[in-house]
Structure 1
Amino acid sequence: MRAVVCRRYGPPQGLLIEELPVPRPGAGELLVDVRTAAVNFPDVLLVANAYQVPAPLPFVPGSELAGQILAVGEGVSEFAPGDRVFGTVPTGAFAERVIVPAGQLTRIPEGVGFAEAAAFGVTYRTAHHALRSVAEVRSGDWVAVLGAAGGVGLAALDLARQLGARVVAAASGPEKLALCRARGATHVIDYTTEDLRLRLRELTDGGAHVVIDPVGGPASEQALRSTRRGGTFVTLGFASGAIPAIPLNLVLLKGVTVKGMELRTFGEQFRELERRDRDELLGLLAAGAVRPHIGARFPLEESAAALALVADRRALGKVVIDVGR
């Protein structure tokens, strides 16, 4: 089988396409014929050896996939060969075949394609947990989303609207702002040409109730300063590459609650909330109420270019890799 292999840490351009043996599923595992894989920012960090949980060399990058079950390991009764599924793995998704524990897979609803399913799970689960369970967004709230044209940002925009919130989408450049408008943002802000702190206060009549920040960098402090008294600021990552230093006097004076949410450990901490959120989210996908925006598609041979697009923050929505021949 063909696979993308990382044999040395560094930029995506160092990745190789190799022929590897087809793995066999063990007890509780499934062998999946990968049709589409989605690129996430942690994939870039793992290749660069900059993620908080390193991947030992050599490894196959990729954490998010959709495909069809080829073989079922001992003890698995809930799936059968031929089932269309999507799910996540720590690494290994950028390959024609991958072994996945049964508990990490979900059936793809009718009417949803492999690319949409692959692009859905990580970003929409992250955004939904952040909005629904961490920030507890209510109908009528003003929600500010930073990096709103990226994968997590667009998912947060979509889901905040499903919760009845009004969304201010902050992004860079006219193309990204146009996409945010098309997805239903109430207002948009270009934080490369506008004063984010001032514009957020103006547009929300005094400040956002909730800020969703998957970007970090200088925009974080500006958004925190424009969060209204008693509001909630949720940090989800640092796609800008810069971890901001927040003056704690802002938290003290404004009574703002600052929270962090990391998808890998959320379910371990809040099992009941995770189960509720997952059921709600799958219902929205099955009903067609939300669909990920796929901004770019690449063949497996161009996986390095797909990761570079995400690394350079040029992606609109999700970037996917068509793995199947």
Structure 2
Amino acid sequence: MRAFFLESHERPPSLRDIPAPEPGSGEIRVRIAACGLNFADLLMLNGSYQDTPALPFVMGMEVAGTIDAVGDGVSGFAPGDRVAVFGGQGGLAEFGCFEAARAVKIPDAMSWEDAAAFQIAYGTSHLALDYRARLGAGETLLVLGAAGGVGLTAVEIGKLMGARVVACARGADKLDVARQAGADHLIDAASQDIREEMKALGGADVVYDPVGGDQFKAAFRSCRPEARILTIGFASGEVPQIKANHLLVKNLSVLGLYWGGYLAFKPAALTGSLQTLLGWYGEGRLKPHVSHVLPLEQTAEGMELLRSRKSTGKVVIRITD
């Protein structure tokens, strides 16, 4: 089978022919139709992601496809089932074997592209806003990186939860994407002062931050008393440092969110969130935004779209029909 394979953190990955895997105990084998790309894939290239697999490995964290074989001890799944899987690796290939516990069945009406773009982006935002920050109706939510893979879903979910959503992104085109996802107010990070704009809006109750760096600092200073700041990632490349005494002045809370980590210590929170999200999708309340769909041969180009921030929403690699 063809697979996008990483052998060294000093050399770029390459498309190779390798043997198709066989499912072990508790595993399903998926004929992969599509794989969603994530910023974490870029971090894996140099080994800086917290869950980078041991080399060598097939890249690709989340997939959608059809089960074609099951291993011993698997119940609830059968060949022919349409599934989405957060595997953490192994997705940029024609076939992949994954723990059955990491798979969810998807509706027949859900496209492969939507399914491959769904779990990490929507799962991260829903778990962060609902479970961690307890976002309430009528509160003001500031979303940084609001046109990116997770940021755009935070805009959409925040609006569904009844918040007043302020979207911050760079440039009119990206802000228009956020507006279409439901943002009530827009801030251009390239030309406007985040703190001053938020001050005019009365401040933020919840900050959703996948960016870090200077934008975190500006958002931190724009918080209302008892605000909650969600640290999702650091796309800027700068991990901000927080002076603990500054938290006291307004009684602020800073909450970390690593979505995949819940599989290890509280999987019910993650799976319950996904069921809610799939229900919303089935009701037509969520509309995944996929800006680029590329073939497996162009995976490196898809990675570059993320690196250069030329994509909006998700980039999906289409692998088989």
Question: TM-score under structure 2 normalisation?
Answer: 0.96
| Paired position in structure 1 for 2:256 | 260
Match of 2:281 among 270, 278, 285: 285
| Paired position in structure 2 for 1:130 | 128
| Paired position in structure 2 for 1:245 | 241
Q: CA deviation at 1:183?
A: 1.2
Given that residues 33 and 66 in structure 2 are in contact (C-alpha distance below 8 angstroms), is that contact kept between their aligned partners in structure 1?
yes
SS at match of 1:76: coil
2:232 pairs with 1:236: yes
Given that residues 225 and 250 in structure 1 are in contact (C-alpha distance below 8 angstroms), is that contact kept between their aligned partners in structure 2?
no
Q: 2:162 & 2:266 partners in 1: Cα distance?
A: 24
Q: CA deviation at 1:282?
A: 1.9
Q: 1:154 & 1:137 partners in 2: Cα distance?
A: 16
Q: 2:18 & 2:173 partners in 1: Cα distance?
A: 40
Q: CA deviation at 1:273?
A: 3.6
Q: Which moved more, 1:166-175 or 1:303-312?
A: 303-312
The 3 A distance-change label for structure 1 pair 145 and 116 is same
Given that residues 262 and 269 in structure 2 are in contact (C-alpha distance below 8 angstroms), is that contact kept between their aligned partners in structure 1?
no
Q: 2:177 & 2:194 partners in 1: Cα distance?
A: 19
Q: 1:131 & 1:324 partners in 2: Cα distance?
A: 34
Q: CA deviation at 1:240?
A: 1.3
The letter for the 2-side match of 1:65 is V
What's the Cα RMSD here?
Answer: 1.4
4+ runs of 1 displaced by more than 6 Å? none
SS at match of 2:67: strand
Q: CA deviation at 1:63?
A: 0.6
2:303 pairs with 1:303: no
Given that residues 214 and 238 in structure 1 are in contact (C-alpha distance below 8 angstroms), is that contact kept between their aligned partners in structure 2?
yes
Give a deviation string over 1:51-87, Cα, whole Å, max 9, x none: 1233222211111000011111112221111111101
| Paired position in structure 2 for 1:118 | 116
Given that residues 62 and 93 in structure 1 are in contact (C-alpha distance below 8 angstroms), is that contact kept between their aligned partners in structure 2?
yes
Give a deviation string over 1:124-155, Cα, whole Å, max 9, x none: 11000000011101111110000000010011
Given that residues 110 and 286 in structure 1 are in contact (C-alpha distance below 8 angstroms), is that contact kept between their aligned partners in structure 2?
no
Q: 1:92 & 1:271 partners in 2: Cα distance?
A: 21
| Paired position in structure 2 for 1:48 | 46
| Paired position in structure 1 for 2:140 | 142
Question: TM-score under structure 1 normalisation?
Answer: 0.95
Q: How does 1:163-174 map to 2 (within 5 A)?
A: 163-174=161-172
Q: 1:123 & 1:258 partners in 2: Cα distance?
A: 20
Q: 1:231 & 1:295 partners in 2: Cα distance?
A: 32
Given that residues 82 and 108 in structure 2 are in contact (C-alpha distance below 8 angstroms), is that contact kept between their aligned partners in structure 1?
no
Q: CA deviation at 1:268?
A: 4.2
| Paired position in structure 1 for 2:105 | 107
The letter for the 2-side match of 1:8 is S
| Paired position in structure 1 for 2:188 | 190
| Paired position in structure 2 for 1:69 | 67
Give a deviation string over 1:137-193, Cα, whole Å, max 9, x none: 111111000000001001111111111111000000111011111111000101110
Q: 1:21 & 1:274 partners in 2: Cα distance?
A: 32
Q: 2:67 & 2:52 partners in 1: Cα distance?
A: 28
Between the two proteins, the alignment pairs up a number of residues equal to 321
| Paired position in structure 2 for 1:199 | 197
Q: CA deviation at 1:28?
A: 1.1
Structure 2: tracts of 5 or more residues without a match: none
Q: CA deviation at 1:272?
A: 4.8
Identity of aligned pairs, percent? Answer: 40
Given that residues 228 and 254 in structure 2 are in contact (C-alpha distance below 8 angstroms), is that contact kept between their aligned partners in structure 1?
yes
Q: CA deviation at 1:314?
A: 2.2
| Paired position in structure 1 for 2:157 | 159
SS at match of 1:198: helix
Q: Which moved more, 1:44-53 or 1:150-159?
A: 44-53
Q: 1:258 & 1:82 partners in 2: Cα distance?
A: 44
Q: 2:14 & 2:261 partners in 1: Cα distance?
A: 31
Given that residues 35 and 323 in structure 1 are in contact (C-alpha distance below 8 angstroms), is that contact kept between their aligned partners in structure 2?
yes
